[in-house]
Amino acid sequence: DTGVSQDPRHKITKRGQNVTFRCDPISEHNRLYWYRQTLGQGPEFLTYFQNEAQLEKSRLLSDRFSAERPKGSFSTLEIQRTEQGDSAMYLCASSLSDRGGQPQHFGDGTRLSIL
């Protein structure tokens, strides 16, 4: 399977714990995006990388959220001190090119449940 891969598929954790999600993009894609999706809503943009550079992070939901893509391949999204409101689906997408507007291809997401 050469699509976008996300791990884990489901994470259950207690409030206050830190969680980290991983995304492996389509191999030739140099852009990688993170989104959050809550029930009944479309995905909400969080941040994106071009290669290893994080080009937009002002839309991360709070300073508890951070993302890395250290070698320009896979990426991680970390949420520190999780809260009930963080329960959602976290989606990763990737696209070709360093020009905007290229279609993004999504993984199947990580579903986060906060107890």
Using the rule CB under 8 A, give the single segment among 14-22, 51-59, 60-68, 71-79 that binds another protein: 51-59
Query: Considering beta carbons, is residue 70 or 101 the nearer one to another protein?
Result: 101
Which amino acid, 41? Q
d(CA 82, CA 80): 6
**Residue 25 lies near another protein (rule: CB under 8 A):** no
| Interface with another protein (CB under 8 A), residue from 56, 78, 97, 115 | 56
d(CA 24, CA 106): 11
Query: Considering beta carbons, is residue 44 or 68 the nearer one to another protein?
Result: 44
Which amino acid, 33? Y
**Residue 109 lies near another protein (rule: CB under 8 A):** yes
- DSSP letter assigned to residue 26: -
**Residue 48 lies near another protein (rule: CB under 8 A):** yes
| Closest distance of CB 34 from another protein, Å | 11
- 67 CB-contact burial (10 Å; exposed 0-12 / middle 13-18 / buried 19+): buried
- 18 CB-contact burial (10 Å; exposed 0-12 / middle 13-18 / buried 19+): exposed
**Residue 98 lies near another protein (rule: CB under 8 A):** no
Give residues in contact with another protein (CB under 8 A). 4, 6, 33, 40-45, 48, 55-56, 59, 91, 93, 100-101, 103-109, 111
